[in-house]
Structure 1
Amino acid sequence: MHTATVFIELGSVILVLGLLGRIAGRYGFSPIPLYLLGGLAFGTGGLLPLSASEEFVATGAEIGVVLLLLMLGLEYTAADLVTNLKAQYPAGAVDFLLNAIPGAVAALLLGWGPVAAVVLAGVTWISSSGVIAKVLGDLGRLGNRETPVILSILVLEDLAMAVYLPILTALLAGAGLVAGSVTLAIALATAGAVLFIALRYGRLISRFVSHDDPEKLLLVVLGLTLLVAGIAQQLQVSAAVGAFLVGIALSGEAAEGAHTLLSPLRDLFAAVFFVFFGLSTDPTSIPPVLLPALLLAVVTAFTKIATGYWAARRAGIATRGRWRAGGALVSRGEFSIVIAGLAVTAGIEPGLGPLATAYVLILVVTGPLAARYTQPAVERLGAVLARRRRPWAPEARIPAQGTAAGGASTNDGPAGGASASSASTNDASADGAEPVEDPLDEESGQPLDGLSR
């Protein structure tokens, strides 16, 4: 009977996820907010709380995190990471300062303590690679000049996760300074060793893993990933980091084949992960933190726009591309939830999960809108400000003293008698504003004040 109940609950959840994914695809936005809302509906305090399948969903959520980081690692090679780290580390530093600090400050202002500050700093710092990549593809911007800058920032954030997650894991476990330092040293040494091996022997590893039979390739890659993730978890390094490093170590045909085979599994278990996070959050706990989440979302949306603008300007991108780069980075999503999920599991702060849920719900919806409309909105605002800065003023168009009524100058000749109307029009055009038309007399149709173009 228990097994039948588990099947019914799991079947219902997965079916609902599929329908929600269809709705999101139909209207062209990320399904993440719908998955979170689905979890809230099935969780404690929701409409239809789950009970029998909760343990299975929890295990599936952990597998979802591992697969998310594995697939992320498959996107990059060790050479790509080293190249991006050397070329774009200033942009990564600016990204961290502008976007992690607001989260840390918000946690301290809410009285949550230093550990929660580290958690919320990560939630506000890391952009959603999956959402951003999809948005860039939908908008046809993958070939734009600013796109490599956007991707470089995302790569640096992903690489920083290999350092951040072990630190966070140690803090959440209550490890002291010595134990935390040892954990961080192990993580850095492991990451460095994997990068070195991938650079030197990546082809040999990929050749060993690769196989013409999709079944054997899937089993080897998935088994290796779960094994390394488990060992990393045992060493307090984080299972997600272990999976990420496995993805980096694979390249070529092995990486491409694994990516194709694992994508459906990743999508399934990632959806289960978002549902599980929703299950862990009581919907009644969200309204009290909705205002702080909204304020934090507004602040960090602008700091992400500033980050992209600065990085694109540093790369020599034109003004329009700078604004597009900034708007594209606004979305937060899967990794913000991963970070918050670790804190929720550790029981650090009851309000952290609801705040992170509301925060991600806001930015995962508004992020694609920011990517689409930031640059046009800024251009419209600039045009409006330009018009206000140079309004039409009749007194500015009255001929100067010494100019005859017929328009000829009595002092300086034609050169000195250039009309203020022409100068004003030229300045406005150069500034990007619309030329200001001379007012006409309603009866005669002639320009007022005896002025003409």
Structure 2
Amino acid sequence: MHHLPQLITDLTLILAVAAIMTLIFKALKQPLVLGYIIAGVIVSANFSWFPSISDAQTENIKVLSEIGIIFLLFSLGLEFSFKKLAQVGGSSSVSAFVEAIGMSALGYGAGQLLGWSTMDSIYLGAALAVSSTTIILKAVEELGLKKKKFAGLVFGILIVEDLITIAILVLLTTLSVSQQVNGIELLLSVGKLIFFLILWFVAGIFFIPTILKKTRNLMNDETLLVVSIAMCLVMVYLAAGAGFSYALGAFVMGSLLAETTKAERIEHLVKPVKDLFGAIFFVSVGMMIDLKMIGEYAIPILLITVVCIVGKVITTGIGAFISGNSLKVSLQTGMSLAQIGEFSFIIAMLGTTLNATSAFLYPIIVAVSGVTTFTTPYLIKASSPFYDWIDKRMPERWRKSLTRYSSEATTITATSDFHQVVKSFVVNVLLFSVIIGALVFLSATYILPWVNEHTSYAIGRITVTLFTLAAMAPFLWGLIVRNERNESFVKIYSIQKYRSPIWVMRGIKLGLAVFSIVFLFNRFFSISVALSAAVIILFVFVFFRKKIQEQYDRIENRFIRNLNDRELQAELKQLEIQASKRNVALAPWDAHMTTFEVLPETSIIGKTLEELKWREVVGVNVAMIKRGQVTITTPTRYDRIYPGDKLYIICTDAQEKKMNAILRADKKLLEKQHDAEVELDKFTVEHDSPFINKSIRDSGIRTITNGLVVGIERDGERILNPESSMIFAEGDVVWIVGEKKLIDSIN
């Protein structure tokens, strides 16, 4: 008989018991996660009534369970998507952060009350801070509540919690290594995390969708599975090399692939692999449970379970309520999230792996998860009757106050153009600073040593410096001008009082650009050489600004196209379905759909598609126009183009370049707008005024002042937004918004 490796024997035992427990728990309509954990308890060395895994093989099982964590986080990233985070809204974000902070504090307090060490208490708080996405989604779906209002809020909170979980893992890793709370060190860790997340996101969105599109003809299911898993493991390696948890790398790559057109297909292919290794992970969780220890810590388990259920109901409910939801929705949300699950296991396992926590913490977390998982469906079902019970006994004065607060909290206030400009400035500086810093670091750390091996010392430094500077050039240009190419900036710049802050922001951006050039040259040369080079390079940039602008536009267009490709393809399929019903040919085979945003400064504003003749001149088809909340599908030749429109155009790569040139802002319009200063002013219609006895329309005042009459005071009466047919009379006080110089000319 051939010798069978012990690992195969152990896997046979693990999967056989897991399969039996899966069938049992499926029949009982209970979460399969608990079945896997019980299977782990049965096959562990702590359970003497059944064949167990040998101690010598536990390390192999541990490695397989870590692979399970990788695939769990990878699959979570595939379902996550950075766009989903932007779409869940402020209510979900506020609720999730209030819950995470509140439960971390309650968990830490409970640990201290039980006399535990500081690290045990911190890990307990972190484990209680997040809920189980898998268990909650399953429970809500089985109860038929997915379309309820609170369910949407719950799903949004779970998305934000996924990101919080990653942040917790990173911070706990840093904290466990240092074994002390160091505010500066934690702040540096957060900064490092933000730096790498931005870098990985930008690089991933730029390269990964392009690679998948270029190789789409070679991608069958087998190849795509291997490629996607390889990408996952490469990012795991990079994350570990950067000093982060390997789980972070898996999550990041999953979220990057979630933005591609292959996301659903990859998720489908990876699911069996995730289920297999996920089962091994949860079985390994059960193998670490000592039933005797659970009996010994029954009172802490009971206390922590109560803290978990009551604390999550209160903290999540408060977060949901203060963010503008009704008391009923807030209570239902809190009672739906009152448990912990697989991510709490991962957090607890991190403490065990790093030897940062005591041995009893892990089985306690698993036991609390088991109890709260069983209570989840019952809490969700009881949330509505519980609210009715509270509502009947609530004083009327309280009810009115709570209703009034909820109504006021949901009031939406428009963000001013200046706030938009400031926000764009911050994002612009952060994004391009990260990219430029990464290019300098990579050139100095990796490229320079290689070049020095193959060339002389001086030639190597000059070559690497020029190469890095060429790579930095488009991003330096983007740092300086990127956030000034939008409607909000043009509006703000035309108002005199905002020009000083804008020039301050411009000074900061220019200063960062100069600093980046000096920093690059100073890595390879003296500071005097670096300062002299910075001055020379600025003049070179001005001379070659058009070439640099074109290069930056190409990079930005590819990034935006890759970022929106998944949604664009979905909309294109929908349009193709609609077109096929009408027997309309939508696009040539080599075309793709691209979005273009219409700037207010373009020369096409107000023109119809018939007047523009894009189909005849360029050969493109306008498939759809999005105008705010209005969508115009397959627009007719009579539809006009307005500022802010998002055009969905089907074109080839060559046609796309032509459309970029057509839709570029008109420099003359920009210069005219920059020179204009808009203000609200008034003038009185005298007896000799050229406007007297003329209607607003016939007076030509709109053309003269390039403005708008917004009000008229006549005989003590104020008329707001007067009709254009209204006749000016002597003594009228006319309020007008327009260009200051032109208004002054009629006063």
| Band of TM-score, shorter chain | 0.7 to 0.9
Tell me the distance in 2 between the aligned counterparts of 1:8 and 1:127: 34
Alignment CA distance shift 1:191-1:50 (3 Å): same
Name the SS of the counterpart of 1:253 in structure 2.
coil
Deviations 1:14-56 (A, max 9, x none): 0211221222222222122222222122223213331154233
Q: Is the 8 A contact 2:45 2:52 kept in 1?
A: yes
Tell me the distance in 2 between the aligned counterparts of 1:382 and 1:85: 28
Q: Equivalent residue for 1:310?
A: 318
Q: Is the 8 A contact 2:41 2:286 kept in 1?
A: yes
Q: Equivalent residue for 2:29?
A: 28
Name the SS of the counterpart of 2:125 in structure 1.
helix
Tell me the distance in 2 between the aligned counterparts of 1:23 and 1:195: 42
The alpha-carbon deviation at position 110 of structure 1 amounts to 2.9
Q: Does 1:38 align with 2:59?
A: no
The alpha-carbon deviation at position 206 of structure 1 amounts to 5.3
Q: Is the 8 A contact 1:308 1:326 kept in 2?
A: yes
Q: Does 1:149 align with 2:157?
A: no
Alignment CA distance shift 1:83-1:380 (3 Å): closer
* TM-score, normalisation: structure 2: 0.48
Q: Equivalent residue for 2:723?
A: none
The alpha-carbon deviation at position 341 of structure 1 amounts to 0.8
Tell me the distance in 1 between the aligned counterparts of 2:224 and 2:131: 31
The alpha-carbon deviation at position 234 of structure 1 amounts to 3.3
Q: Is the 8 A contact 1:10 1:53 kept in 2?
A: no
Deviations 1:185-206 (A, max 9, x none): 3322112223444666674365
> Within 5 A, what are the aligned runs for 1:349-364?
349-364=358-373
Alignment CA distance shift 1:252-1:196 (3 Å): closer
What amino acid is the match of 1:27? Answer: L
Q: Is the 8 A contact 1:79 1:199 kept in 2?
A: no
Name the SS of the counterpart of 2:253 in structure 1.
helix
Q: Equivalent residue for 2:668?
A: none
What amino acid is the match of 1:281? Answer: I
> Within 5 A, what are the aligned runs for 1:190-205?
190-197=196-203, 203-204=209-210
Runs of 5+ consecutive residues of structure 1 not aligned to the other structure: 390-453
Q: 1:121 aligns with which of 97, 108, 125?
A: 125
Q: Equivalent residue for 1:60?
A: 64
> Within 5 A, what are the aligned runs for 1:177-188?
177=182, 182-188=188-194
Q: Equivalent residue for 1:435?
A: none
Alignment CA distance shift 1:56-1:214 (3 Å): same
The alpha-carbon deviation at position 287 of structure 1 amounts to 1.2
Q: Equivalent residue for 2:13?
A: 12
Work out the percentage of aligned pairs sharing the same amino acid. 25
More helix by share: 1
Number of aligned residues? 386
Q: Which has the larger radius of gyration?
A: 2
Q: Equivalent residue for 1:292?
A: 300
More strand by share: 2
Tell me the distance in 2 between the aligned counterparts of 1:118 and 1:174: 14
Q: Is the 8 A contact 2:308 2:339 kept in 1?
A: no
Alignment CA distance shift 1:371-1:206 (3 Å): farther
The alpha-carbon deviation at position 84 of structure 1 amounts to 3.8
What amino acid is the match of 1:352? Answer: L
What amino acid is the match of 2:334? Answer: G
Tell me the distance in 2 between the aligned counterparts of 1:209 and 1:255: 15
The alpha-carbon deviation at position 126 of structure 1 amounts to 0.7
Q: Is the 8 A contact 1:146 1:317 kept in 2?
A: no
Q: Is the 8 A contact 2:297 2:364 kept in 1?
A: yes
What amino acid is the match of 1:277? Answer: V
Name the SS of the counterpart of 2:4 in structure 1.
helix
Tell me the distance in 2 between the aligned counterparts of 1:4 and 1:201: 42
> Within 5 A, what are the aligned runs for 1:267-416?
267-314=275-322, 317-347=325-355, 348-380=357-389
Tell me the distance in 2 between the aligned counterparts of 1:317 and 1:209: 47
Q: 1:50 aligns with which of 28, 48, 53?
A: 53
Deviations 1:375-401 (A, max 9, x none): 224435655x58xx9xxxxxxxxxxxx
* TM-score, normalisation: structure 1: 0.78
Q: Which deviates the most, 22-31 or 204-213?
A: 204-213
Runs of 5+ consecutive residues of structure 2 not aligned to the other structure: 396-747
What amino acid is the match of 2:337? Answer: L
Q: Is the 8 A contact 1:150 1:308 kept in 2?
A: no
Indicate the RMSD between aligned Cα atoms, in angstroms.
2.6
Name the SS of the counterpart of 2:375 in structure 1.
helix
Tell me the distance in 2 between the aligned counterparts of 1:293 and 1:83: 37
Q: Does 1:98 align with 2:117?
A: no
Deviations 1:308-328 (A, max 9, x none): 433444565554433322221
Tell me the distance in 1 between the aligned counterparts of 2:360 and 2:276: 28
Q: Is the 8 A contact 1:310 1:322 kept in 2?
A: yes
Q: Is the 8 A contact 1:218 1:261 kept in 2?
A: yes
Tell me the distance in 1 between the aligned counterparts of 2:156 and 2:33: 24
Q: Equivalent residue for 2:504?
A: none
Name the SS of the counterpart of 1:3 in structure 2.
coil
Alignment CA distance shift 1:201-1:235 (3 Å): closer
Q: Equivalent residue for 1:415?
A: none
Q: Which has the higher contact order (CA 8 A, sep 6+)?
A: 1
Q: Is the 8 A contact 2:314 2:334 kept in 1?
A: yes
Q: Is the 8 A contact 1:330 1:371 kept in 2?
A: no
Name the SS of the counterpart of 1:173 in structure 2.
helix
Tell me the distance in 1 between the aligned counterparts of 2:91 and 2:385: 29
Name the SS of the counterpart of 2:261 in structure 1.
helix
Tell me the distance in 2 between the aligned counterparts of 1:4 and 1:53: 10
What amino acid is the match of 1:370? Answer: L
Q: Is the 8 A contact 1:17 1:35 kept in 2?
A: yes
Q: Is the 8 A contact 2:236 2:248 kept in 1?
A: yes
The alpha-carbon deviation at position 241 of structure 1 amounts to 0.8
Q: Is the 8 A contact 1:327 1:372 kept in 2?
A: no
What amino acid is the match of 2:210? Answer: L
Alignment CA distance shift 1:248-1:374 (3 Å): same
Q: Is the 8 A contact 2:99 2:319 kept in 1?
A: no
Tell me the distance in 2 between the aligned counterparts of 1:85 and 1:232: 29
Tell me the distance in 2 between the aligned counterparts of 1:359 and 1:232: 31
Q: Is the 8 A contact 1:172 1:343 kept in 2?
A: yes
Tell me the distance in 2 between the aligned counterparts of 1:208 and 1:325: 44
Tell me the distance in 1 between the aligned counterparts of 2:378 and 2:58: 35
